[in-house]
Amino acid sequence: MRHFPVHHDGVTIPVSRGGRGRPLVLCPGLNTTQADLHELTELLRRDHDLVTFDLRGHGLASAAEQYSFEAFLSDLVAVMAGLDLPSAPVLVGYSLGADLVVHYASEHPDTVAGLVLIDGANPVPEPFITESELPEFRTMWEELATQHEAERGTERQVLLTAREILDLNLEIDVVRSEILDRYRKTDCPITMVMSASMAGDSGEGRALRRNQNWRAGVERLVHERPHVSTSWLDADHRLVFTHAPQVARIIGSAWS
């Protein structure tokens, strides 16, 4: 394993690289760190030259004055610019990270061999967060921010406030409403690994609506871009933690 920092935009991004094989760059999601993805990364390093990193305000990365989609995208751009890889890598993104790698690939098509999108970058037909659900999400992320307090100073820390997390999720809804345009600019092979019950498996109420919206977004994408390969796992949005071996096998089958 090799560890090195990337400095840009006033922040320090910690990068880790190890393993042998086809180069993969793994981009984490919101509220997710390299340490959280340990099981998946260890599996991927068996057959790939794997690069991982922490987004600003996450894990061992430094805090920042700005947390926005464009700011996180700039972290990915800086990491990619700081790598010396033998060939164009496959970009693997989880949740927000999936949206980031799609945007990166659409802007740098000649530098990417392919994409693996894990439960993100979904052109859902309806916003994930509706006006009536704002209080529910605000409470949920206030509780999450409180939990983050216990991890301050560790490799699993997340420095964002509840309001910053909420604002980012609202921004992600806007990003996904326009993401089909990004796919139209991306010709590399794409593999999606999606959760069948991303909002839980209660089968009723808001969870049912969110799950149906999630599946409808993928169907919308595949209808327009039939070359996109999709695998569904019987899991919720935490599939990278609960189903890491299955996720790793799908990635390996597509990019061994």
Is residue 27 within 8 Å of 93, Cβ to Cβ?
yes
Is residue 91 within 8 Å of 132, Cβ to Cβ?
no
Domains of the chain: 2-254 (3.40.50.1820)
**pLDDT (tens digit, 9 = 90+) per residue, 232-250?**
999 999 999 999 999 999 9
Query: C-alpha angle 126/211/100, rounded to 5°?
Result: 65
Is residue 198 within 8 Å of 210, Cβ to Cβ?
yes
Residue in the block written with tokens 């070359």: 227
At residue 205, the pLDDT reads 79
Is residue 195 within 8 Å of 231, Cβ to Cβ?
no
User: Does residue 202 surpass a pLDDT of 80?
Assistant: no
Model confidence, pTM: 0.97
Name the residue among 227, 228, 223, 201 with its Cα closest to residue 212.
Answer: 201
Amino acid, res. 143: E
Q: Side by side, which strands form the sheet with 114-118?
A: 2-8, 11-18, 48-53, 22-27, 90-94, 114-118, 190-195, 229-233
**pLDDT (tens digit, 9 = 90+) per residue, 89-110?**
999 999 999 999 999 999 999 9
CA 59 to chain centre: 15
**pLDDT (tens digit, 9 = 90+) per residue, 138-196?**
999 999 999 999 999 999 999 999 999 999 999 999 999 999 999 999 999 999 999 99
Query: C-alpha angle 231/29/99, rounded to 5°?
Result: 65
Is residue 155 within 8 Å of 161, Cβ to Cβ?
no
